[in-house]
Amino acid sequence: KGKYIQVQRAFRNGRITKVSVRGSGFTGNETLSILSLQGQVIYSSRLVNGEAKINLTNNSVGIFVINIFNENGLAESSLFRKY
C-alpha cells in the first residue's frame, strides 16, 4: 500500500479559506509543512491521525508545496493552488 496526500479545500465567497490534508500509509510520526514556491514556511505541525486542518484565510493566493516528513526525511510531497 503506497503513501499519498489528499487535499480538500473549503471555500467562502469564491476563495479558499481552509485546507484539510490527509495522508495515507503513514505511521503517525509525521510533520506537515506548507511552503510557498519561494521556500517560506507558511504552516507546520504534526499530523494527528494522518490529518491536519489548516486555516489559510490570511494567506495570499498562489501555488504552495505540501511536504510530509517522517523520521527518515521527506515521505511525500504535493502541490496545491490557492485562489
Distances (CA, A) of 77 to 4, 68, 70, 73: 8, 6, 12, 11
Could you tell me if residue 81 is left (phi over 0), alpha (psi between -120 and 50 degrees) or otherwise beta?
A: beta
Residues 6+ apart with CB under 8 A from 11: 17
Average pLDDT rounded to a whole number, residues 43-59: 82
Considering 15-19, 28-32, 42-46, 66-70, the range whose residues carry the highest mean pLDDT is: 42-46
